[in-house]
Structure 1
């Protein structure tokens, strides 16, 4: 009767996988969760569920931080664009032809004076 052989990955593959886990931050996250579990005075009945919950919280915090950073960046861009619009409006008002201003003013005042529904020809 022969005993079943167990598969042992080569040392190179193990080392490569370990580096992958470290680079992805998995080793760090697992270590933190396991240390927290070790330091718990009242150990949870379901240790696996404890680990899952803590890892989910860590992932959620990272996502929250990323979204907050994107929101701050978007708000900054919006503010910059609003400032640019104000500058362009001011420049357009300064550069507008005086005759064009008077035509627009007359048209606006005639529109305000005319009864609703009647159109006034613009001269």
Structure 2
């Protein structure tokens, strides 16, 4: 068992050095310290860390709002398609009647 443990430990150490060299450890530490120092803790800690680290993109509330808007627009589209079919049928009947 010891022989399996050493290579994993070596890989972990190599990965740790890689993260330190790339500044990842410092960036995460700064984000966590900023979160710790927040007077009013945010509801979504992950979102706070993402934004602190400069991640762009919509936050979860924005995504939820967009999902709701999409659902409403799909319903409206379906409604308009049904109305369009009804009007086509009426037009067809009118044109055939003349």
TM-score by length of 2: 0.48
| Higher RCO, Cα 8 Å, sep 6+ | 2
Higher helix share: 2
TM-score by length of 1: 0.38
Larger Rg: 1
